[in-house]
Amino acid sequence: MSWARCTAALSLVCVLSACATQSGGAPAAAPPAPCQAVYTVLHTAPSDIAAAAQEGRCVPENLRFSGELSGAVHDAYLNPETGVAGATPGVVCKPPGRGEPYPMALLDIDLRGKAYRLEVAPPGKFDRAKTSFTSGLDSAVELASVTGPRFDWKGVSGELTEDARGTQGSLDLSLIRDVQGAAPVHMRGTWTCAKPAPPASIPSDPCQQILAAQGLPPATIGLEPANPGLQPPTPCLDEDLTFTGAVSGHATHAIKDLREVGGSNTGEDQFPRGVPYEPLVPQCGTDDLTKPTAYGSQFDVALGGEGYRVLLSDWYDTFAEQAIKLPDFTAINGADPLMSGADVVPTVILHTGTDIWSSTSGSWHVNPDLHSGTVDVELNGGVSGDQIVHMSGNWRCDGA
């Protein structure tokens, strides 16, 4: 073999050897497991790491820091204290209901090998809409060192946003330590205190959708939640109600209030959004067919995936010994001379979570069957207290 051919053969062997080393050699190092860096700097016990995985406490983040602190954060460990006051133990950063406080997020993060806690506590109450905050940032966003010397930074300028779900948003703001000559920290990106939720399974049955919006399991339809089996199935009611304004949508179906009038069960634990219960009037009809002193109609609808309760009612004080003026009612109950402030008592209520809208103008009508009618009213209330909702159409509180 000539020297040239030998050299060429050796070169080929070297090339093939190099390729084999690249393709079949030691595998590249795997990326670290989510939150592994922060678990390491926090010295988190294996049992706590397992619990965090089970409870969904490792959440994705996309934050960049510059200034006195610099680096990037791609995940965070939700501190067990995260949530809303009075929230169910073990529930992490539950999306709030309309009118409820935003959940406070306590995010433990790793920044260049040191542990910090980022606290995001938007002010005000949730209104199912993207909201921007540019004031009160010193109490809305705080950053503190967890390991090493204790340092605290508070938001001073910029913008914090919450999305329409109430558990995530964006940050573009400056924070500073209360120390003479301290340089600011700029933080920018997106934050969350909840893992991405899988697409919700929407029931095909319209009244099961109402139960889902109220947070009730499908099996409870038609049953009084505290005493399953004691009541007959509740019909799926046909409605034709249109809502515009702060609450918008068209309700084509409803279910009756699932709680017993006059019973000891208020049902607040069965209706986690804190929907009020009005036991003073009948659920659907009058208290006395001959000389009625009260009329009531209560039913639940779903609008935009959120559960609402509708209450139409009017009554006289029992000492008045007078009949109510069926079948037509105004938006304000001013007929009872013995009731203090009767001229400002609304006869139509719409409520969800802790938000309530009360009728201020318009009227409603009850059909001869006492279980259906029409309504055309304007309501006022909501998170700000001055949000307007218009409700009109045909309603029904019983299938009979």
Q: What is the four-CA torsion angle of 368, 373, 379, 382, rounded to 10 degrees?
A: 110
Residue 113: partners with Cβ closer than 8 Å, 6 or more residues away: 37, 41
- In Å, what is the CA distance from 175 to each residue of 67, 263, 280? 10, 53, 52
pLDDT tens digit string along 64-106? Answer: 999 999 999 999 998 776 544 433 444 467 788 788 888 888 8
Sign of CA dihedral 94, 95, 97, 98: positive
Q: Looking at the DSSP assignment, which residues form a beta bridge with residue 340?
A: none
CA distance 371 to 237: 11
CA distance 120 to 136: 12
Q: What is the four-CA torsion angle of 207, 251, 248, 258, rounded to 10 degrees?
A: -50
CA distance 40 to 55: 19
pLDDT tens digit string along 178-207? Answer: 888 899 999 999 999 887 766 667 777 888
pLDDT of residue 14: 43
- In Å, what is the CA distance from 91 to each residue of 38, 56, 87, 168, 353? 21, 9, 7, 16, 18
Q: Looking at the DSSP assignment, which residues form a beta bridge with residue 186?
A: 66, 174
Q: Looking at the DSSP assignment, which residues form a beta bridge with residue 117?
A: 108, 144
* DSSP letter for each residue of 339-391: STTGGGEESEEEEETTEEEEEEEEEEEE-TTSSEEEEEEEEEESSSS-EEEEE
Helix locations, the chain, DSSP H:
3-24, 36-42, 46-55, 137-140, 206-214
326 with 357: CB under 8 angstroms?
Answer: no
In the block, which residue shows the tokens 């994705």? 60
Pull the structure tokens for residue 171: 């940050």
pLDDT of residue 345: 78
pTM above the 0.85 mark? no
CA distance 285 to 2: 110
- Check residue 256 and give left, alpha or beta (phi > 0: left; psi -120 to 50: alpha): beta
For the chain, which ranges sit under pLDDT 50?
1, 3-4, 6-23, 83-91, 219-220, 222-232, 259-278, 335-342
Give the type of residue at 386.
D
pLDDT of residue 217: 61
pLDDT of residue 354: 79
